[in-house]
């Protein structure tokens, strides 16, 4: 589930302090669980020119190409994988 924050928590300016509107969490695409490296199939279906750049990713939520440094309000933090040896 996407974490909701309140505008008064996100923006500290005097103008926005009284706002109490819920907004979605915002984060970079490279840290989101919806983003991934492009596959050969993606190069056929999506913008091949854009995917050829080093920082390009594919967003499975939007089903399109994105930049790793882009921000999105549908951000859902990628879970860290634990590599514990038993």
Task: Give the start-to-end residue ranges of the domains of the chain.
Answer: 4-72
For 9, phi then psi, to 5°, come to: -80, -30
Higher local confidence (pLDDT), 33 or 24: 33
Tell me which of 50 and 59 has the higher pLDDT. Answer: 59
Across-strand partners of 35? Answer: 59
Could you tell me which of 17, 20, 18, 16 has the C-alpha nearest to residue 6?
20
CA atoms of 61 and 79, how far apart (whole Å): 16
- Using the predicted structure, report yes or no on whether residue 27 has a pLDDT greater than 70: yes
Mean pLDDT of 33-55: 88
Mean predicted lDDT score pLDDT of the chain: 75
């Amino acid at each position: 589930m996407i974490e909701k924050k309140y505008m008064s928590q996100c923006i500290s300016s005097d103008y926005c302090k009284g706002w109490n509107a819920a907004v979605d969490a915002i984060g970079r695409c490279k840290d989101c669980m919806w983003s991934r490296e492009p596959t050969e199939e993606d190069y056929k279906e999506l913008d091949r020119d854009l995917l050829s750049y080093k920082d390009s990713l594919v967003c499975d939520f939007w089903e399109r190409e994105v930049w790793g440094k882009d921000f999105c309000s549908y951000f859902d933090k990628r879970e860290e994988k634990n590599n514990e040896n038993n």
